[in-house]
Structure 1
Amino acid sequence: MTLVSVTGLADARGAAMALQHSRAQMPGARALLCSPNAPDDLAPGIEHRPIAPLNYHEYSWFMMFALWRVVQTEFALVVQEDGWVVNSANWSDEFLNCDYIGAPIHLARIDAPQGTYWRNSFEWAQELAKPDHVVTPIQNGGFSLRSRRFMRALVDHPHIRVEIPPPDAVAGEPLRMHWQHNALLEDVQLSGVLRPALEAVGMRFAPLELARSFAIEHAGPQLHHGYNAMLLFGHHAKVRQLASLSPLTLRSLIPLSQLDSWYGERDILQMFERNGYRIEFAPEPEAPVASATRRVYDCITYNGEADILAVRLHELSDVVDCFVIVEADRTFSGEPKALRFDATDPRIAPFLPRIRYIAVHDMPVVDEAADAAPVVGDWHSDMPKSGFWIREKFQRNQVMRGLHDAAPHDLVMISDADEIPRADVVRAMRDDRRHDAFGLCLAFYYFYANYRNVEGPEASSVWTVAATRARLDSLTPDQLRMRVRSGAQPAAILADAGWHFSYLAMDEDAVRAKIKGFAHQEYNSGAFLDAIDIPALLASGRDLYGRPGYVWRLVDKGEAPRWMRDQPGLTRLFA
Structure 2
Amino acid sequence: DKFVLVESAMTHSGKPKELLFEKHKASFERYLDRLVHVVLDTLPQSDDHWVRERAQRDAIHEGVTLAGAGDEDLLMVSDVDEIPRRTTVRALSWCEGYRSPMQLRSNFFYYSLRHRWTESGPNWVRPFQWKQPRAALLSQLQYPRLTANHLRYDPGDGNMEEVNFAAWHLSFFGGAERILDKIEAYAHQENNMDDFKDRQHIASALQDGHDLFKRGAVHGELKNNSEPYDLPELILVSARAGAGPHVTWLPDYFDLP
Superposition TM-score tier, normalisation by shorter sequence:
0.7 to 0.9
Letter in structure 2 aligned against 1:325: L
Matches within 5 A, 1:113-512: 321-342=1-22, 344-366=24-46, 370=47, 386=48, 388-404=49-65, 405-435=68-98, 436-455=100-119, 459-473=128-142, 474-483=145-154, 486-488=155-157, 490-507=159-176, 509-512=177-180
How far is 1:347 from its partner?
Answer: 3.0
Supply the distance in 1 between the matched residues of 2:173 and 2:104 (Cα, whole angstroms): 20
Give how far 1:552 is off: 1.6
Offset from partner CA, 1:428-449 (integer Å, 9 cap, x none): 2233323241101101111212
Deviation of 1:553 (Å): 2.2
Equivalent residue number for residue 297 of structure 1 = none
**Aligned-pair CA distance for 1:494:** 0.5
TM-score relative to the length of structure 1: 0.38
- Which residue type is aligned with residue 440 of structure 1? L
Instruction: Tell me if structure 1 keeps the 8 A contact 2:44–2:55.
Output: yes
Q: CA deviation at 1:343?
A: 6.0
- Compared CA separation, residues 453 and 390, structure 1 to 2 (3 A): same
Q: The residue matched to 1:497 in structure 2 has which SS?
A: strand
Q: Distance in 2 between matches of 1:531 and 1:506?
A: 11
Partner of 1:220: none
Q: 1:479 to 1:516 in 2, by over 3 A?
A: same
Partner of 1:572: 248
1:543 aligns with 2:206: no
**1:519 Cα deviation after fit:** 0.5
Amino acid in the other structure paired with 1:341: F
Q: Does the CA contact (< 8 Å) of 1:326 and 1:358 recur in 2? A: yes
Is the CA contact (8 Å cut-off) linking 2:85 and 2:167 kept in structure 1?
Answer: yes
Alignment correspondent of 1:308 = none
Answer yes or no: is 1:526 the counterpart of 2:206: no
Q: Whole-Å Cα distance in 1 between the matches of residues 206 and 42 of structure 2? A: 40
- Residue 393 of structure 1 aligns to which amino acid in structure 2? R
Letter of the structure 2 residue corresponding to residue 566 of structure 1: V
Task: String of CA shifts for 1:30-86, please: whole Å, max 9, x gaps.
Answer: xxxxxxxxxxxxxxxxxxxxxxxxxxxxxxxxxxxxxxxxxxxxxxxxxxxxxxxxx
Q: Distance in 2 between matches of 1:342 and 1:362?
A: 17
Deviation of residue 536 (structure 1)?
Answer: 2.4
Q: Give the aligned partner of residue 183 of structure 2.
A: 515
Where in structure 2 are the equivalents of 1:18-167 lying within 5 Å? none
**CA 1:418–1:532: 2 relative to 1, 3 Å:** farther
Paired residues of 1:543 and 1:551 also in contact (CA < 8 A): no
Give aligned-pair identity as a percent.
30
| Residue 222 of structure 2, aligned match among 521, 527, 552 | 552
- With over 3 angstroms needed to count, the CA separation of the structure-2 counterparts of 1:505 and 1:345, relative to structure 1, is same
Secondary structure at 2:131's aligned position in 1? strand
Return the offset for 1:455. 3.2
**Runs of 4+ deviating beyond 6 Å:** none
In 2: Cα distance, 1:401 partner to 1:489 partner: 28
